[in-house]
Homo-oligomer: A and B are copies of this chain.
Amino acid sequence: MKAQDYPRQVQELIARLKRMPGVGSRGAERHALWFLQHGRNDARALAEALLAAADEVGSCPQCGFFSQKGELCTACSDPARDGALLCVVEQPTDVLPIERCGTFRGLYHCLGGKISPLDGVLPEDLSVAQLLERVKKAPGCEVILAVGSDVEGETTALYLAEQLAQSDCRVSRLAQGMPAGAGLGQADAVTLMRALEGRKGL
């Protein structure tokens, strides 16, 4: 006698769900059973959504954010945006957090990563040449380096500042300091050091 298991298709579905980040064996099984018991239409709709996203979504040829395949993203094709303000981020996924803060009216440039020789990511793996090209086409623009404040992010920012030194543009970096709403007890030593260095007169 063989112990009974789920039908082949259910086992395959569980295996596929388990590949998603943060989904373990139990979670994948729970999801699969939910689709079978309550959500067959949901399963079909999610399948369609997955195929549409995988097949129809591409990268904006100008900034690298997600867009309809082969088309400019909504920011790059919006004439109301300020083309003289370029916000450089590591990943396309860094764009939405900035959009959601609601005050940035310029365009983006997604590098595709950060310089990290240990992980095999060198400057030529990032879209630095395209950035220099964009800056050349918008003389007098401001380039905001909105890369992370970890070691690789700082390295990337320094490298970009050097590369941009010959271009006709101002280069700025996101402020570092206390996060909003935090007490002194929650800030680590480096954050406090940066907050002290960057203190402002009132």
Contact = CB atoms under 8 A, between A and B. Distances in A.
Given A16-B46, A45-B16, A53 B10 contact: yes
Range for the number of chain A residues in contact with chain B: 35 or more
Q: Tell me the dominant secondary structure on chain A's binding face.
A: helix
A39 B18 CA distance: 13
Interface in A18-40: 19-22, 27, 30-37, 39-40
Contacts of A1: 78, 80-81, 105
Interface in A50-90: 50-54, 56-57, 65-68, 73-75, 78, 80-81
Contact of A66 (B7, B41, B52): B7
Contact of A99 (B3, B44, B65, B80): B3
Contacts of A168: none
Closest 6 CB pairs of A and B: A47-B47, A1-B80, A43-B54, A47-B50, A43-B50, A16-B49
